[in-house]
Structure 1
Amino acid sequence: MSELIETLPVVALRGMTILPDMVIHFDVSRERSVKAIEEAMLRDQRVFLVTQKDVQVDNPGSEDLYRIGTIASVKQVIKMPQKIIRVLAEGLERGEWSHFSEEGEYLEAEIIRFEKDTELEALPETAREAMTRNLAEIFSLYCRENGKMGKDTERQILEEHELEKLMSQVIINLPLFYEDKQKLLEAVNLSDRYELLCLLMDKEIEIMRFKKDLQQKVKTHVDKNQREYLLREELKVIREELGEDNTLTDADHFTEEVKKLKASKEVKEKLNKEISRFKNMGMNSSESAVLRGYIETMLELPWDKASRDSSDLKRAEEILNADHYGMEQVKERVLEYLAVRILTKKGSSPILCLVGPPGTGKTSIARSIARALNKKYVRISLGGVRDEAEIRGHRRTYVGAMPGRIATGMKQAGVKNPLMLLDEIDKVSSDYKGDTSSALLEVLDSEQNSRFQDHYVELPMDLSEVLFIATANDVQTIPRPLLDRMELIEVSSYTENEKVHIAREHLISKQMEKNGLKDDQLTISPKALEALIHSYTREAGVRQLERKIGEVCRKAAREILEQKKKSVKLTENNLEKYLGKPRYHYDMANETDEIGIVRGLAWTSVGGDTLQIEVNIMPGKGDISLTGQLGDVMKESARTGLSYIRSVSDRYGIDKKFFREHDIHIHIPEGAVPKDGPSAGITMATAMLSAITCIPVYAHVAMTGEITLRGRVLPIGGLKEKLLAAKNAGIKTVIVPEKNRRDVEEISNEIKKGLEIVYAEQMEDVLKIAFQEASHGDKK
């Protein structure tokens, strides 16, 4: 590089790069660029043209521009409409800006010029000649492959025998992207520029060759199809002339299938009509393929084809008991259905909905029911389905139309009376394409589904003999009209004792077989299994338990192979060796009675849990603080509880000024976990009253229930899971709403054993137990 030249106005170019020796028109519309051109015309007509890196930037600064650009001479300026000027400029030489000024009305920069490259002069004459000829050959090859370069232009460029000028002419005439032209501009060294130019032309030649190959393949394919069509037409005419047209066509085959089809007259007439249309249609038309697909689908549907259900009540009961432990409600309902079916010879198929937490066996019991009833089993997963056409099918007028999931399930089953499992029905959603849950209303209505309309099939389908079983985790998310059409059966959480039975009877043998272990190669002691369930899993179902048993099996398999052991025994003492440290510890009941601390009971998606609610009283101005990621419902319950306490403050000797001069802070630990629900009202009210009156709360009591402003205790849900959590935490007394007495009576004695369950109608009933028991040390 040589000396610093005078400061030049700068024009930032978008999407184009100007090179030395290039004469080009370009339009300028940005105000700063127009000012720069005007300033150049007032000086010596020289301007520095530099490309900006991102074409989307409207007011580029120094960081948005490439360092190297072209010093150009402005030859002509023409004013255009809408404040646009058209500039004719000639590139003179490369330059690099060293200092940039953005403060004025236009961009300015100090430009460093590049010294003349002496590398070319240092090369031997033969080397320069070889480089020139090589470049000319590559350019000629490029022109032949391109086919768009004019012969005169090609000849004119190739007449140049000086290497540097030939390179400039080739670069100017190549239709390259501006990024590639910028790379060539930045290649200051002649040999670098020569190498880059040759690489770019080789790349372009390869791309054009690939493009020609693809075009040739497409042309060949089209010609082949056309030739086959002509030959088929000729063959058809020849056969007609010879009277040999006896081959069975697709249409004839479809007609034979219709004759064998077990279907109503309406269905057969529709099929024959479509087959007639198909016969008169050209084989290569696009509609022919659509019609073929429709006819084949219609022939595969089980219109009047049914399987024979089992009528052995005892066998069905044995299968259900063998496959699943517990689930008495579900088994009882299925056996009732089968009994009615046997007596009436038909009976209407119920629409059952199994509701419960994940992993409790809802999906697997459906498969067992199908086996017990000797029915074909079809599972349709509805989780995340948001297009109504997934249920009702697409109309045949649409490209790529297909039947809905219900019709497809019937086709898959092959009979009109299968067991159809609608999995995760609470997770269907809706969008602009329609409401999926509304489309399911007709499917799950026993009064309507005998003539279910699928948009693709276009004929009514009889779903009245299908045994529908739906599964859901949460009833709250199922729309009310859809919920009204189903018979709900709750599949509740398993107790630890039930999990032990399930593991012994099903999970251990299943995982041993899956991991290649024989019966005598792994033994799990009863104590080890209980400890595994208690300390390594926390769930309503048994999925995590099955994974942990699988983990033990894998480690046992490795030990048997590596250490040549005959068998592995899992005991309570070596459990940590196989599964690591215990993952879960139950928050046990406090040892001593405390002021302002009450144990509540909560329902979660993985079972029940206990929540310790803490309340502190501080001097202040009557504010109430709620922490622990509480939801809106819990916040309202806390405020309702406080209003109740204020209404009965005289009864507990609370000073009238107390609520104006003190702040109340309610906190539920594990602040990172969101909490919400309507069952913590009495718990928060008890904790607040304890903190205000300094009366300790009995440590071994837990409670659940909602409170009203007048102190009434309202019923709650999830009682079985909550009682399980209380039992695991070592709670002795549980307070529940009086209106939940019927729910408690339905819960098995195994869960209630060891718990004293007290019923409360009013808040006074709750406080009598929570406060009075705390004053009797002999009850602890």
Structure 2
Amino acid sequence: MEVSMNQVIMKQTQALPMIVVRGLVVFPNTLLHFDMAREKSILALENAMVNKQLAFVTMQKDITIENPAPEDIETMGTICKITQVVKMPNNTVRVLVEGLKRAKISEILKTKPYFVSLVDEIEPEEFDEEELENEALKRKLIDEFMNYREFNRKVSGEFLFTQQNTDDTSRLADNLASNLPLKLSDKQEILNTVDVKTRVENLISLLIRETEIAKIDSVIDKKVKSNIDKNQREYFLREQMKVIQEELGDKEGVELEAEEYKQKLSELDLPEAVREKCDKELERFMKMSYSNPESNVIRTYLTWVCDLPWNNVTKDTLSIKKAKAVLAKDHYGLEKVKERILEFLAVKQITGTMAGPILCLVGPPGVGKTSIAKSIAESMGRTYVRISLGGIRDEADIRGHRRTYIGSMPGRIITALKQAGTNNPLMLFDEIDKMGSDYKGDPSAALLEVLDAEQNTKFRDHFMEIDFDLSNILFIATANTLDTIPRPLLDRMEIIELPGYTSEEKFHIAKRHLLPKQLKKHGLKNDNISINDGAIRTVIEHYTREAGVRTLERKIANICRKAALLLVDDPETKVRVTARNMEEFLGKHLFEREQASKKDEVGIVTGLAWTQVGGDTLSVEVNVMQGTGNLELTGQLGDVMKESAKAAVSFVRANAENLDIDGEFYQNRDIHIHVPEGATPKDGPSAGITIATALTSALSGKKVKHDVAMTGEITIRGRVLPIGGLREKTLAAYRAGIKTIIIPWENKKDIDELEPVVKENIDIKPVHDMNEVLHIALA
């Protein structure tokens, strides 16, 4: 820091021992005591005591330096008189000094064994107390100090009185600076400022800042004191209440609560480790005051332990006959699912003990995945509890939060067990494919332990911190697709696919289940409404297009509401709903029945596609024009489907001669491949042979049979590779009136799984390569 030397008068120069201090600034005309432990400082002190008791005291710039060099020392300090020296334990010395004059180092004469410096005493020019501006500055300084004292009562009244009656402004400024809690850099700056007027102005600015800080401190102190007083009052009142209760023999409060928990825990057949954990928590609970926030956490924990179904078990109903009846009553079709459940019950009936399997029902929306889980629980006599996993992104939702967090709770597994009230419910993980993950963890990873029969005997929730046996639970999961389920989790489950319903199955479901349910819901009876079979089939064919039956149920509900409105207008009438008057209830047809083309055409082939709502037919059209060999692909095709089209073009080019096609077509023809319904994105490899057939037909001029549909992946050498979703695709072909279906040879094994109505009405042709496809498809 530079020293302000305005109006400075150098009085005299003298050589003095120098004491370098850390963390304090000594001002002229002030008394200050401090401790010294460094050897250099103690030797300098001893020399000063034999030399008029005078020493030069200055501060080192960096307090962390143990042995400061000359450049580490402030040049401006104070000539002090040593008035008292006291030896302390641990080889330290406590010294009391009186500041006499400001002084500045002109030269350091020696540094060992202690510092000796040549210092110049500094005497500023007289501060004219009679000058109005100077008097105003002095008064302003005193006023600001009084304002500061209002918020900081540590300053004594005697000190304030003494300063108010000080005539020497320079001395006043130094005294105030010495007693204020300023930063060391600010104090050193005041010491460096020799000009009294500038020093006063700087000190006024510092006082204003310190007053604002003191105001904030005062507000904080009041708030803290208020909170402490409130807590102390509550504590005394509760202690008094406890004494009064003891005198009256009344054991209410914490002790009564603890006794209640002890009683509840004694009635439970808990594992030894759980019992020890609960006893420790009870002991902590009894030692805490009622107002301690931790007591609420322990109270919540003990309540959860008492509420869990440690010993509550429902007895399984293992009657195969009853289970078959319940499943048949609630669901039409779904034979494979019903068969798997009956197998499980049969094994359990024979062995008596068997860990529940972990089933995953996979299928499109609305096919009855959730409702079949309810039926399984009913058939077995188990409690049904459902956990919706859709949108879960936090691992703590499964395993719970640790008790260190405010508002922590157990995870969904433990919560569902408490809700079920038994330790062997049927637990449904709904929409297991809709889980996500983020920085809080991956919930699917937390399910790995839950769904592993070898590990879930000791499931540990983060909140409970005790082992709970989940092996008695029958876990069932549902999903729309397997693509988003992590492989390790998928490996722990047995996959059972629920395909979309056929039109015939939808008809029976609507007639047996949906229609009676909606009639009851809308307060209608068979006496005042009739919906014939033709009406139901019309709703299925012309107002819905889905794999499940949710939309079908909504359409039946629409009919019931319209009927209810008609009955309110005329209670004596009977509403009759038929295929002919369906438009009065549901409006114009939304869909027309898919029909195959009525004639053979060139460059147009019917393909079969799988969608999330079931199978569908897909036309592929190819146009060939004069050009330069450009290939145009339209219809919102995905990358995989575009690659299939390129593979088809490669096959046709390589076999142009055998297919009676001009071998130079890729140079003098432009090819446009289009898949209609261009607004709908399409992807997948199964349209490969369809594109190749349409391309061959367009280039050769040969027509494609109108009643033939096909599905299969093509390679550039013409091999036909297997595909998925054959059941749904064949149903779509049946609805469209297709007579012949071409499928890959490797899918021949799937023919047994197709619907009987499909196998009876459609000729299914398994093929190995494109030559067989063209032989069947081209007229």
TM-score scaled by length of structure 2? 0.69
Number of matched pairs: 557
Residue number among 548, 553, 557 corresponding to 1:546 in the alignment = 553
Q: Which residue of 2 aligns with 1:606?
A: 613
Q: Which residue of 2 aligns with 1:700?
A: 707
Q: Which residue of 2 aligns with 1:160?
A: none
Measured after TM superposition, the shift of residue 304 of structure 1 is 3.3
Q: Which segment is superposed worse, 628-637 or 391-400? A: 391-400
Find out whether 1:320 has 2:327 as its counterpart.
yes
Residue number among 605, 612, 634 corresponding to 1:627 in the alignment = 634
CA distance in 1, matches of 2:587, 2:330: 31
Q: Which residue of 2 aligns with 1:269?
A: 276
1:712·1:763 contact (CA, 8 Å) conserved in 2?
Answer: yes
Find out whether 1:239 has 2:245 as its counterpart.
yes
Q: Which residue of 2 aligns with 1:641?
A: 648
- 1:240-259 alignment runs, 5 A limit: 240-241=246-247, 245=251, 249-259=256-266
Measured after TM superposition, the shift of residue 305 of structure 1 is 2.5
Q: Which residue of 1 aligns with 2:599?
A: 592
Find out whether 1:671 has 2:678 as its counterpart.
yes
CA distance in 2, matches of 1:517, 1:690: 57
CA distance in 1, matches of 2:730, 2:246: 84
Residue number among 468, 471, 478 corresponding to 2:475 in the alignment = 468
Q: Residue 276 of structure 1 aligns to a residue in which SS?
A: helix
Q: Which residue of 1 aligns with 2:542?
A: 535
CA distance in 2, matches of 1:769, 1:346: 56
CA distance in 2, matches of 1:650, 1:686: 16
- 1:85-104 alignment runs, 5 A limit: none
Q: Residue 476 of structure 1 aligns to a residue in which SS?
A: coil
CA deviations over 1:457-508 (Å, ceiling 9, x no partner): 1112111111000000011221111111100111111011111110111000
Q: Which residue of 2 aligns with 1:368?
A: 375
CA distance in 2, matches of 1:226, 1:501: 74
Q: Which residue of 2 aligns with 1:448?
A: 455
Residue number among 724, 728, 740 corresponding to 1:721 in the alignment = 728
2:363·2:497 contact (CA, 8 Å) conserved in 1?
Answer: yes
CA distance in 2, matches of 1:610, 1:281: 72
CA deviations over 1:385-411 (Å, ceiling 9, x no partner): 111111111111112211111111111
Measured after TM superposition, the shift of residue 715 of structure 1 is 0.9
CA distance in 1, matches of 2:249, 2:591: 84
Find out whether 1:418 has 2:430 as its counterpart.
no
Q: Which residue of 2 aligns with 1:280?
A: 287
Measured after TM superposition, the shift of residue 241 of structure 1 is 4.9
CA distance in 1, matches of 2:306, 2:713: 58
Measured after TM superposition, the shift of residue 220 of structure 1 is 11
Measured after TM superposition, the shift of residue 622 of structure 1 is 1.5
CA distance in 2, matches of 1:639, 1:296: 66
CA deviations over 1:277-317 (Å, ceiling 9, x no partner): 11111111111111111111111112233111112221111
Q: Residue 709 of structure 2 aligns to a residue in which SS?
A: strand
Q: Which residue of 1 aligns with 2:97?
A: none
Measured after TM superposition, the shift of residue 520 of structure 1 is 2.1
**Structure 2: gaps of 5 or more residues:** 1-223
AA partner of residue 370 (structure 1): A
1:495·1:751 contact (CA, 8 Å) conserved in 2?
Answer: no
CA deviations over 1:294-342 (Å, ceiling 9, x no partner): 1111111122331111122211111111011111111111111111111
Task: State, as a whole percentage, how many aligned pairs show the same letter.
Answer: 56
AA partner of residue 355 (structure 2): S
Inter-CA distance 225–506: structure 2 relative to 1 (3 Å threshold): farther
AA partner of residue 591 (structure 1): K
Q: Residue 430 of structure 1 aligns to a residue in which SS?
A: coil
CA distance in 1, matches of 2:499, 2:707: 26
CA distance in 2, matches of 1:321, 1:219: 73
Measured after TM superposition, the shift of residue 227 of structure 1 is 5.4
CA distance in 1, matches of 2:228, 2:576: 70
1:559·1:565 contact (CA, 8 Å) conserved in 2?
Answer: no
Q: Which runs of 4+ in 1 moved over 3 A?
A: 218-230, 239-248
Q: Which segment is superposed worse, 247-256 or 669-678? A: 247-256
Q: Which residue of 1 aligns with 2:396?
A: 389
Find out whether 1:300 has 2:313 as its counterpart.
no
CA deviations over 1:339-395 (Å, ceiling 9, x no partner): 111111111210000000000000000001101000011100011111111111111
Measured after TM superposition, the shift of residue 223 of structure 1 is 8.7
Measured after TM superposition, the shift of residue 664 of structure 1 is 1.0
**Structure 1: gaps of 5 or more residues:** 1-217, 775-780
- 1:133-282 alignment runs, 5 A limit: 229-241=235-247, 245=251, 249-282=256-289
Q: Which residue of 1 aligns with 2:173?
A: none
TM-score scaled by length of structure 1? 0.69
Inter-CA distance 244–396: structure 2 relative to 1 (3 Å threshold): closer
Inter-CA distance 565–765: structure 2 relative to 1 (3 Å threshold): farther
CA distance in 2, matches of 1:481, 1:750: 38
Measured after TM superposition, the shift of residue 221 of structure 1 is 11
AA partner of residue 245 (structure 2): R
1:734·1:756 contact (CA, 8 Å) conserved in 2?
Answer: yes
2:532·2:578 contact (CA, 8 Å) conserved in 1?
Answer: yes
Measured after TM superposition, the shift of residue 228 of structure 1 is 5.4
CA distance in 2, matches of 1:246, 1:528: 70
Q: Residue 606 of structure 2 aligns to a residue in which SS?
A: strand
Measured after TM superposition, the shift of residue 222 of structure 1 is 10
CA deviations over 1:429-451 (Å, ceiling 9, x no partner): 11111112111111111111111
Q: Which residue of 1 aligns with 2:513?
A: 506
CA distance in 1, matches of 2:452, 2:669: 58
Inter-CA distance 382–242: structure 2 relative to 1 (3 Å threshold): closer
AA partner of residue 731 (structure 2): L
1:262·1:305 contact (CA, 8 Å) conserved in 2?
Answer: no
Q: Residue 743 of structure 1 aligns to a residue in which SS?
A: helix
Q: Which segment is superposed worse, 516-525 or 371-380? A: 516-525
Q: Residue 704 of structure 2 aligns to a residue in which SS?
A: coil
AA partner of residue 526 (structure 1): D
Measured after TM superposition, the shift of residue 645 of structure 1 is 1.0
CA distance in 2, matches of 1:407, 1:245: 33
Q: Residue 753 of structure 1 aligns to a residue in which SS?
A: helix
1:622·1:660 contact (CA, 8 Å) conserved in 2?
Answer: yes
1:264·1:303 contact (CA, 8 Å) conserved in 2?
Answer: no
Find out whether 1:760 has 2:767 as its counterpart.
yes
AA partner of residue 331 (structure 1): K
